[in-house]
Amino acid sequence: MIIALDGPAASGKGTLARRLAAKYRLPHLDTGLLYRATAHALLEAGDRLEDEARAVAAARGLGLTDFDEGKLRGRVMGEAASVVAAIPAVRAALLDAQRSFASRPGGAVLDGRDIGTVICPKADVKIFVVASSETRANRRALELAGQGEKVDYAAVLEDIKTRDTRDSSRSAAPLLKAVDAVSLDTTALDVEGAFAAAVAIVESRRAI
Ligand code: CDP
């Protein structure tokens, strides 16, 4: 079974993806890490995020497992990831690795922005996770504070809005609900409530 979760920043898709992967004993790929790691490699090398050739080389050089999440999770890298993610050649360079992860025997859980639309259009279950921008900014501010990052709620909300606009308006694989995806609004749900709702969606799709 392939489970595809897509949605905007801090909508809760990462937590849901991890929980679903554990419940159904499936491997999980957080595809946002691929774009974050690509951006990180460019910044480390002193290259510009818009340098297509360098960005493609950085994307091609990634492994799928050896991410130093501590360096990739911060606010700056989320913003930088969204810049490199808008380059079509970078997305193309990361396509095969994501598809081969998804086609493992038994299936997989992938979360990102274009899993249900581009990476796994035939996924068994597609969930489009949304939440209000204020709720997402709150969650992200708490998460970043937990990682020791100094955060300002207003700045985090601004980041989220900028990223929503960039991710939704780019021409290459924009953030979009697949026609056959089920929407899950987590605004009023806690982690357990969102997980229960996601499991109900998986079970209902499996029964078809
Ligand atoms: O955790 P959060 O939702 O803030 O970010 P993420 O999932 O780690 O993704 C960071 C950025 O990578 C997003 O803003 C997107 O621009 C990009 N991304 C993408 O374009 N396609 C994906 N499948 C995953 C992430």
Take residue 201 and report the two structure tokens written for it: 């969606």
Rounded Cα gap, residues 126 and 56, in angstroms: 28
Q: Which of 21, 69, 32 is nearest to 195 (CA)?
A: 21
Instruction: Please give the average pLDDT of every successive group of 10 residues along the chain, which has 208 residues.
Output: 96 96 97 96 95 96 82 90 96 96 96 97 98 95 89 93 92 93 97 97 88
- Indicate which atom in ligand 1 lies nearest the CA of residue 6: 23
| Ligand 1 atom 23 nearest Cα | 112
Distance 37 CA to ligand 1 centre (A): 11
Strand-pair partners of 126: 4
Residue 132 CB: number of other CB atoms within 10 A?
Answer: 13
Rounded Cα gap, residues 112 and 110, in angstroms: 7
Q: CB under 6 Å to ligand 1: residues? A: 9-10, 14, 31-32, 35-36, 78, 81-82, 85, 112-114, 163, 167
Take residue 58 and report the two structure tokens written for it: 């950085």
Pick from 82, 94, 129 the residue to mutate for probing ligand 1's pocket: most ligand atoms within 8 Å of its CB: 82
Q: Which CATH architecture has domain 2-202?
A: 3-Layer(aba) Sandwich (3.40)
Radius of gyration of the chain (CA): 16
Q: If you ran DSSP here, which 8-state letter would residue 10 be given?
A: T
Distance 82 CA to ligand 1 centre (A): 6
Single pTM value for the model? 0.94
Q: Please report the pLDDT score of residue 73 as a whole number.
A: 87
Q: Please report the pLDDT score of residue 122 as a whole number.
A: 97
Q: Please report the pLDDT score of residue 63 as a whole number.
A: 82
